[in-house]
Amino acid sequence: MFNLLKTLKNRTPLGWLQLTHDRPRLLVALAGIAFSDILIFMQLGFQTALYHSNTRLHTYLDAEIVLMSPKARNIVNLDMIPRRRLYQSLDIPGVISAEPVYVQFAEWKTPQTRKQTTILAIGFNPDKPAFTLPEVIEQAPLLKFPRHVIFDRGARGTYDETIAQIDAGQRVPTEIENSNIDIAGLFQIGASFAADGTVMMSDRTFMQLFSRRRPEAMSLGLLQLEPGRNPEEIAETLAHHLPEDVTVLTKAEFVEFERQYWAMNTPVGFVFSLGTVMGLIVGTVIVYQVLATDVRDRLPEYATFKAMGYRNRYLLAIVFEQALILAVMGFIPGATVSVGLYALTREATNLPLMMTTIRAIQVLIFTILMCAVSGAIATRKLQAADPAEIFG
């Protein structure tokens, strides 16, 4: 038995033995790496939720080409374009339909609490639903009734009783812009950083609720093409055919337009990117302090190895071995805690905050690189160590 334990000890990596020799220092290092990983996970999670929540409505648009104003900034700041641009678009071969969409931020009274909030209101022709969501398509006939709307069951707020009533087949009354409406159905989109939720209605109801809007001034134009047509080519043709008061985008470009707005033109996109960088810096500093202290404390031992003929390469490998062990061991609690924080945040905000395999691998790679950089910096003194000076 004693021989077995001795054999296992001899096979134990030297880096592991050095780390576990001072367990308080090891725990501090692991806590620091875990904290760094949690910070990175949360920033990347929020960043992904930012992009996904603000573009998923775009992905469900039933269009291959989108017309919008050149002054548009994002989905809630679209400005308006003349509706006659739709008829001009139909002159282009390959365009088979052109439908208007009306978008407006609205004052909304939560049915359950009667509290005022803002919501994104969207109006379209119920005979040609603007979205490919099955729930919207199935319930589009309900929108033909005056002042009937369908509501986003994933909206941020207190809606449990309201959703239960609608699922039971009841109509739930509430108010938009101080006008009475009935919620007749539900669909699923979810909250975003721009809006707490979405409500859809017919274009006629939209004009009744927003009396300052006119049918001839639309927010978006949705174009469908003949099967097999290239959206990029027709979009280019439309851009030359239509006046400069219209921007022509393919559906993919419209999604990217929204993503770029949040990534480049808003403080929140910058903050999440900066938070990720800060997490890496914090982790690098913590691991460096641990490894540099360990190297300094064990400098006589490393000098002995050098005096025995071991090269710098072997000694550096020990330090990098420690860095790799710290990276993996610190990543595990960091990822575990992040999964729990994702769930809590998702429950509180209705944002699509999910742990993904790709993100976990990405953060693990970041952690290994972070620890490797720390190890490389910490070994500079080790490489210059002279056994004669240390023992002299």
pLDDT by residue (tens digit) across 87-144? 999 999 999 999 999 999 998 999 888 888 889 999 999 999 999 999 999 999 999 9
The alpha carbon of 162 is separated from its chain's Cα centroid by a whole number of angstroms, namely: 28
Percent of all residues in the chain with a pLDDT value above 70, rounded to a whole number: 91
Please report the pLDDT score of residue 385 as a whole number.
59
Please report the pLDDT score of residue 204 as a whole number.
94
Question: What 8-state DSSP symbol labels residue 64?
Answer: S
Over residues 304-314, the mean pLDDT reads 70
Percent of all residues in the chain with a pLDDT value above 90, rounded to a whole number: 47
Q: What is the pTM of this model?
A: 0.79
Please report the pLDDT score of residue 273 as a whole number.
82
Please report the pLDDT score of residue 351 as a whole number.
82
Give the least confident one: 2-6, 69-73, 139-143, 247-251. 2-6
Please report the pLDDT score of residue 186 as a whole number.
95
pLDDT at 310 over 70: no
Cα separation, 331 vs 353, in Å, equals: 19
pLDDT at 276 over 90: no
Please report the pLDDT score of residue 2 as a whole number.
40
Please report the pLDDT score of residue 284 as a whole number.
82
Please report the pLDDT score of residue 232 as a whole number.
94
Over residues 315-335, the mean pLDDT reads 85
DSSP structure string for 7-38: HHHHHS-HHHHHHHHSHHHHHHHHHHHHHHHH
Q: Which residue has the higher pLDDT, 186 or 287?
A: 186
SS3 382: helix
**Of 153, 151, 211, which Cα lies nearest the Cα of 179?**
211
Confidence band for 8, pLDDT divided at 50, 70 and 90 = very low
Helices (H), the chain: 2-11, 14-21, 23-59, 84-89, 134-139, 160-167, 203-209, 231-241, 251-264, 267-297, 299-307, 312-349, 357-378, 380-384, 387-391
Give the tens place of pLDDT for each residue, 54-74: 899 999 999 999 999 999 999
Over residues 142-171, the mean pLDDT reads 92
Assign residue 127 a region (left: φ > 0; alpha: ψ between -120 and 50; beta: otherwise).
alpha
- Of 13-17, 296-300, 309-313, 319-323, the range with the highest mean pLDDT is 319-323
Please report the pLDDT score of residue 136 as a whole number.
95
Please report the pLDDT score of residue 7 as a whole number.
40
Confidence band for 162, pLDDT divided at 50, 70 and 90 = very high
- Of 31-35, 69-73, 289-293, 306-310, the range with the highest mean pLDDT is 69-73
Question: Which class for 183: exposed (0-12), middle (13-18), buried (19 or more C-beta within 10 A)?
Answer: buried
